[in-house]
């Protein structure tokens, strides 16, 4: 992958090459192999390249006639598209996918993107229309941000690249803080930076020559199941689609490896990689945390030994959090949303000396109902039989009364206390419920989650999956996957988020995703054909970090100092009594508040990095 920046001026001023260069500088990690820029009459593009395909060719920004492209990503079916375009008479000058994407626009216009299979964010200057056109891939694997004040339009792969060109510099978007407390990220189109927006997945943005801007969808995720496949037919279809997705994501002119946690998703992907490589070398990478409760390294080793991969491991320790927190917050452009972000960076850093591309299992849980909460979906919905006011008080009291060891039951009760179905879907992963957010900070909260729920269809599981794909997956997991890998100049590719596989997943009935009490049933049945039963049937652990113990030990003093110190941003914006009580409950062991402490700490570190201390050293 790469880093892209650009601007379109409507104030009569020329694009400043020096300013464009300062926008490109913070993206050096996304493109350490080459850089280029193009400027012409009020418009300018900058590009940092990580060479994956056509290593010596395909320089960017790339021009053909009056059109110019600045492209971040991969078009996995570029070879078949290239052949089709050549048969139609298009004369190619390079061997890569960048020119194929530009050729699609030149021959078929903005809808040429419909023919692609890939992960991407790109800008095209249409010279004939004098229009700037941005596209983001269907499921939001790659990021794209923009700023528009009526005089200048800016875009970039990462927010930090916009900041040098924003008049007056960066400012906190106070209205987004409450949403952050609900998601540990801010749902599109907003961010924690005032005036900075993210283009939503599957959307295009067009800035016309007169200065008008419009945003429109070019792809949408299906909203309800269709078809009448039997369970066995569903297994066959998923296996075929996943194999094709893995095969596509092995297309590269550089070595390709994979994350390997030892869970079903990553293990299945690695198994297919070894089969597709025909006995060739496959390198895998795993992380451990030195805590036997969450140690999945033995499972990863078991899979590696069974499949014959070249395996590498790294151990993440509390000191890594202290040492890397500020640096990775700068890369993330936001509070680090998941504790496992640091582990992903450590893995990508280890992988960088062996491979340039890593396949990941991201997206499987959100497409095929892999979380325990999906098994609770219908039962939690029974809470709606109670009036909203009574529901909130009853389930809040029940949740507070439960001892800390009943973690999953407490999460379910928190969700059941929500005021509506849309709020309940949001609450399953929320570190702070709606009533807690109201206690922490005043003001109205945006409610994008309600519009997402309003578009969803099907049964409770299908509606929950649709919601998770549009907020939790895109704005949290995929953002962290991109930033943490690119911080080490490694490209991350999630095969489960091939759009053809995603469309298939949403066409399947819920009873092949959640079957009885078995989550992600159809994926596990595919996995049985490739992996030992001990891997397929073991209890899901996830990429867990032992923060509960660390916040009572090595990281205890740091947490208190950052959240309750006299210069604390969190302390100045949020209710101090609430924060003090939360920290005390965790220290006494009355409640496990690790994720809430983490959420507030990450907000504090983000503010210090971008508004107080400046960018930390990157090496």
The pLDDT of residue 291 is 64
Secondary structure string (H, E, C) spanning 177-207: HHHHHHHCCCCCCCCCECCEEECCCCEEEEE
Instruction: Choose the most confident range, by mean pLDDT, from 446-460, 481-495, 532-546, 583-597.
Output: 481-495
Domain with CATH 3.60.20.10 in the chain: 3-217
The pLDDT of residue 294 is 61
C-alpha 163/C-alpha 142 separation (Å) is 19
Sequence-distant (6+) residues with CB within 8 A of 424 are 380, 381, 383, 415, 416, 418
pLDDT exceeds cutoff 80 at 53: no
Mark 174-185 as b/e (b = at least 16 C-beta within 10 Å): eebbbbbbbbbb
Give 144-153 pLDDT, tens digit per residue: 999 999 999 9
Beta pairing class for 62-64 and 152-156 = unpaired
Find the mean pLDDT for residues 545-565. Answer: 76
pLDDT exceeds cutoff 80 at 546: no
* DSSP one-letter string for 385-418: GS-HHHHHHHHHHHHHHS-TT-HHHHHHHHHHTS
Q: What is the mean pLDDT of the chain?
A: 91
Topology of domain 3-217 in CATH is 3.60.20
The pLDDT of residue 617 is 62
Q: Regarding predicted confidence, which is higher, 446 or 289?
A: 446
Give 105-138 pLDDT, tens digit per residue: 999 999 999 999 999 999 999 999 999 999 999 9
The pLDDT of residue 172 is 96
Which residue from 541, 247, 536, 236 is spatially nearest to 372, judged by alpha carbons? 541
pLDDT exceeds cutoff 60 at 543: no
Q: Regarding predicted confidence, which is higher, 412 or 141?
A: 141
Find the mean pLDDT for residues 567-574. Answer: 93
Under DSSP, the state recorded for 430 is: -
The pLDDT of residue 13 is 94
How far CA 567 is from CA of 322, 563, 570, 572, in Å, comes to: 19, 9, 9, 8
Give 199-256 pLDDT, tens digit per residue: 999 999 999 999 999 999 999 998 877 778 899 999 999 999 999 999 999 998 889 9
CB half-sphere exposure, 583, CA atoms < 13 A: 22
pLDDT exceeds cutoff 60 at 484: yes
| Contact status, residue 502 vs residue 367, Cβ threshold 8 Å | yes
> Among this protein's residues, is 70 annotated catalytic?
no
Share of the chain above pLDDT 90, in %: 69
Q: What ranges in 220-372 are assigned the alpha helix state H? A: 231-248, 264-276, 297-307, 318-332, 340-351, 364-368
Find the mean pLDDT for residues 23-27. Answer: 97
Helix (H) or strand (E) holding 288: strand 283-288
Assign 411 a pLDDT band (cuts: 50, 70, 90): confident
Topology of domain 231-364+484-536 in CATH is Rossmann fold (3.40.50)
Rg (CA), the chain: 24
Assign 330 a pLDDT band (cuts: 50, 70, 90): very high
Residue for token pair 């089969």: 275
How far CA 399 is from CA of 226, 417, 433, 595, in Å, comes to: 38, 9, 12, 16
């Amino acid at each position: 992958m790469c880093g892209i920046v650009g601007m379109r001026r409507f104030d009569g001023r020329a694009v400043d090459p020096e300013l464009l260069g300062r926008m490109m500088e913070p993206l050096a990690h996304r493109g350490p192999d080459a850089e280029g820029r193009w400027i012409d009459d009020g418009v300018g593009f900058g590009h940092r390249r990580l060479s994956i395909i056509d290593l010596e060719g395909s320089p960017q920004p790339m021009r053909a006639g009056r059109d110019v492209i600045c492209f971040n990503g991969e078009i996995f079916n570029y070879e078949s598209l290239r052949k089709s375009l050549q048969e139609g008479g298009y004369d190619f000058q390079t061997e890569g996918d960048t020119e194929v994407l530009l050729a699609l626009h030149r021959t078929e216009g903005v809808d040429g993107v419909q023919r692609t299979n890939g992960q991407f964010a790109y800008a095209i200057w249409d010279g004939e229309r004098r229009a700037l056109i941005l596209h983001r891939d269907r499921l939001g694997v790659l990021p794209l941000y923009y700023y528009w004040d009526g005089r200048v339009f800016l875009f970039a792969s990462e927010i930090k690249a916009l900041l040098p060109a924003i008049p007056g510099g960066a400012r906190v978007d106070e209205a987004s803080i409450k949403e952050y407390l609900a998601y540990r990220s801010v749902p599109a189109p907003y961010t924690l930076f005032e005036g900075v927006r993210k283009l939503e997945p599957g959307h295009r943005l067009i800035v016309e020559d007169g200065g008008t801007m419009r945003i429109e969808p070019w792809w949408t995720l299906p909203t309800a199941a269709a078809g009448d496949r039997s369970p066995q037919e569903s297994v066959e279809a998923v296996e075929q689609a996943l194999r094709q997705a893995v095969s596509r994501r092995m297309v590269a002119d550089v070595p390709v490896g994979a994350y390997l946690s030892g869970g079903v998703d990553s293990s299945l992907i690695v198994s297919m990689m070894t089969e597709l490589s025909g006995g060739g070398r496959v390198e895998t990478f795993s992380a451990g945390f030195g805590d036997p409760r969450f140690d999945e390294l033995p499972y990863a080793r078991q899979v590696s030994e069974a499949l014959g991969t070249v395996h590498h491991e790294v151990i993440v320790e509390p000191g890594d959090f202290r040492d890397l927190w500020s640096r990775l917050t700068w890369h993330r452009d936001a509070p680090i949303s998941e504790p496992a972000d640091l582990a992903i960076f450590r893995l990508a850093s280890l992988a960088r000396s062996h491979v340039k591309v890593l396949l990941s299992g991201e997206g499987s849980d959100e497409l095929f109902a892999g979380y325990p909460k999906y098994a609770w979906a219908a039962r939690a919905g029974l809470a709606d039989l109670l009036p909203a006011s009574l529901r909130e008080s009853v389930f809040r009291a029940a949740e507070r009364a439960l001892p800390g060891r009943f973690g999953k039951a407490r999460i379910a009760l928190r969700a059941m206390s929500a005021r509506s179905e849309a709020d309940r879907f949001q609450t399953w992963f929320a570190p702070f419920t709606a009533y807690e957010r109201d206690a922490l900070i005043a003001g109205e909260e945006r409610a994008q989650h309600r519009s997402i729920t309003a578009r969803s269809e099907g049964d409770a599981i299908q509606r929950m999956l649709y919601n998770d794909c549009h907020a939790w997956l895109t704005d949290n997991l995929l953002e962290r996957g991109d930033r943490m890998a690119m911080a080490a100049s490694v490209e991350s590719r999630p095969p489960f988020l091939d759009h053809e596989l995603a469309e298939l997943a949403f066409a399947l009935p819920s009873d092949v995703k959640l079957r009885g009490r078995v989550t992600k049933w159809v994926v596990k049945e595919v996995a049985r054909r490739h992996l030992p039963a001990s891997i397929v049937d073991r209890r899901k652990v996830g990429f867990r970090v032992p923060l509960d113990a660390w916040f009572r030990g090595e990281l205890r003093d740091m947490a208190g100092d950052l959240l309750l110190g006299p210069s604390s941003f969190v302390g100045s914006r949020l209710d101090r009594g609430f924060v003090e009580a939360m920290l005390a409950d965790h220290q006494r062991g009355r409640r496990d508040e690790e994720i809430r402490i983490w959420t507030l700490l990450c907000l504090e570190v983000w503010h210090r990095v971008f508004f107080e201390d400046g960018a930390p050293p990157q090496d």
